[in-house]
Amino acid sequence: MSAAAELAALDAAAPAPIEKAPLKALVPEILAGGRDPFAAPGDAGNLVGLSRAELAEALREAGERPESLRMRANQLFHWIYNRGAKSFAEMSSINKGLQARLAERYRIGRPEIARALKSFDGTSKWLLRFRDGEEAETVHIPEEDRGALCVSSQVGCTLACRFCHTGTQKLVRNLSAAEIVGQVLIARDGLGEWPAPDEGRLLTNIVMMGMGEPLYNYENVAKALKIVMDGEGISISKRRITLSTAGVVPMIERCGAELGVNLAVSLHAVTDELRDVIVPLNRKYPIAELLAACRRYPAANNARRITFEYVMLKGINDSPAEARELVRLLDGIPAKVNLIPFNPWPGAPYECSSPAAIRAFAQIVNDAGYSSPVRTPRGRDIMAACGQLKSDSQRKRKSARAATD
Ligand code: SF4
């Protein structure tokens, strides 16, 4: 069946409550490596996001001698990703002549900070603007002995999960590896963590849970995460990186085999009937296929469990019977369940479950032997729900444009 026919068939089969079909997200050619209409734009001259081999090539083009390329590439990698250098002039181990030749051709480009907000609870949120004016969000959530950075993989998202504010924004494009790594650099700048400390870090974990579906932008995400994991640079181990997917089944196994990161799955419902509505990607990859892919996930074991995210929606998915069905579905998977009280946004179609309903749900899952923490809402005063800051910025820019017209 052609892609267009497949999409038409999916739409025809869609249950009535779905108002916004995730058409483009379902185009199979994107996954098959065909032309990607959402490809990130090129960023010629930016050294951020480049691997060591690419840095060596950049050095060769800057006239560096072949026998020094490897050593110089390691130095550049160290300065950019371990020391947080923003200019070649800071790179004291690189001679002035080469510094000047590099500066003629290249930049160490970070995204621009469009807005930076800090919550009373310590959560920091940055709205970042890229060279083409597109924006995405990054959030740092500190805890007592660690801190997680929630990183975006796309500008907007096609998957239109009904409870998610980002899902109301149309997908504009994928983020490049430079733009993904750039989010980590900005956070480290803001936290003052250069050079990358060995102990006592404020940024210890990465969660690919920001805007976008990372497995629809796999190549850039993989390239960025390999840089983030490298022990000579940002040095955050794969055991401290979690990639969250709405369930792009064909990419899950590859992700585990190539990156070995922790997996989180946005499950949110225990029947296909409901999940087709809440997470429309389910129409393409239903629950049974998704859980089968989880059972095969190479990087999962009892020490590194797969996290199943479950947003608590009042009267929609929060009954004791659904908790019991969740337990049944997870049988045999090294799993834990994150229960997420719904964080409402203006115009949201759902309400958050009551504390009693959340407690009862958690108890059933917990009694079955699965850890089931209830996520504490963070940063509510700075619109930390995914996508809210970007929408707010778009509204302000639109009204500013209207005022000047
Ligand atoms: S939950 Fe994730 S995959 Fe679903 S719409 Fe929001 S950003 Fe996209």
The 10s digit of each residue's pLDDT in 365-380 is 999 999 999 988 777 7
**Domain of 278: which CATH number?**
3.20.20.70
Ligand 1 binding pocket includes 266 (Cβ within 6 Å): yes
Find, among 209, 211, 218, the residue nearest to 158 by Cα. Answer: 211
Question: Is residue 343 within 6 Å of ligand 1 at its C-beta?
Answer: no
Verify that 230 and 93 share a domain, yes or no. no
Q: Residue 313, Cβ neighbours under 10 Å: how many?
A: 24
Question: Is position 273 annotated as part of the catalytic site?
Answer: no
The domain in which residue 312 lies consists of 111-398
Q: Which two tokens stand for residue 11?
A: 């739409």
Q: Are residues 329 and 354 in the same domain?
A: yes
Residue 6 belongs to some domain of the structure: no
User: Do 252 and 374 belong to one domain?
Assistant: yes
8: in domain: no
* Residue 257 within any structural domain of the chain: yes
CA 154 to ligand 1: nearest atom: 7
Say whether both 82 and 199 belong to one domain. Answer: no
* Cβ of 137 below 6 Å from ligand 1: no
- Beta-carbon contacts of 88 under 8 Å, excluding residues fewer than 6 positions away, are 94, 99, 100, 102, 103, 106, 108
Residue 167 alpha carbon, nearest atom of ligand 1:
5
Going from the Cα of 189 to the center of ligand 1, the distance in angstroms, rounded, reads: 27
Q: Is residue 12 part of a domain?
A: no
Residue 138 pLDDT: 95
167 lines ligand 1 (CB under 6 A): yes
Q: The whole model's pTM is what?
A: 0.88
Specify whether 211 is located in the same domain as 282.
yes
136 CB less than 6 Å from ligand 1? no
**Separation CA 79–CA 57 (nearest Å):** 17
Same domain, 121 and 196: yes
Q: Which own/partner pairs from 322-325 qualify as long-range (CB within 8 Å, at least 24 positions apart)?
A: 322/269, 322/270, 322/361, 323/360, 323/361, 323/364, 323/365, 324/364, 325/270, 325/271
Return d(Cα 185, Cα 112) in angstroms, integer. Answer: 11
Is 273 inside any structural domain? yes
Domain final position from 105, 131, 149 = 105
Domain co-membership, 158 together with 264: yes
pLDDT value at position 389? 63
Are 58 and 125 contained in the same domain?
no
Is the minimum distance from the CB of 30 to ligand 1 under 6 angstroms? no
Q: How many domains does the chain have?
A: 2
Which of 41, 74, 105 delimits the end of a domain?
105
Residue 77 shares a structural domain with residue 186: no
Low-confidence ranges of the chain (pLDDT < 50): 1-29
The pLDDT assigned to 404 comes to: 55
Give catalytic status of residue 64 as yes or no: no
Alpha carbon of 311 to ligand 1 centroid (Å): 12
Q: What is the CATH number of the domain that holds 100?
A: 1.10.150
Same structural domain, 215 and 232: yes
Which tens digits make up the pLDDT trace of 230-255?
Answer: 999 999 999 999 999 999 999 999 99
Catalytic residue chosen out of the listed positions 64, 134, 135, 137:
137
62 & 161 share domain:
no
Question: Ligand 1: distance of its center to the CA of 48 in Å?
Answer: 26
- Is 294 within a domain? yes
pLDDT at 331: 95
Q: Which residues of 71-95 are buried (b: 16+ CB within 10 A; e: fewer)?
A: ebbebbbbbbbbbbbbebeebeebe
CA 290 / ligand 1 centre spacing (Å): 16
- 158, 207, 213: which to mutate for ligand 1, most atoms within 8 A of CB? 213
Residue 138 to residues 64, 113, 115, 244, Cα–Cα distance (Å): 36, 10, 11, 15
Q: Counting atoms of ligand 1 from 1, which one is nearest the CA of 213? A: 3
In a domain, 100, yes or no: yes
**Ligand 1 close to Cβ of residue 247 (< 6 A):** no
217 close to ligand 1 (CB < 6 Angstrom): no
9 located within any domain: no
68 and 199 in one domain?
Answer: no
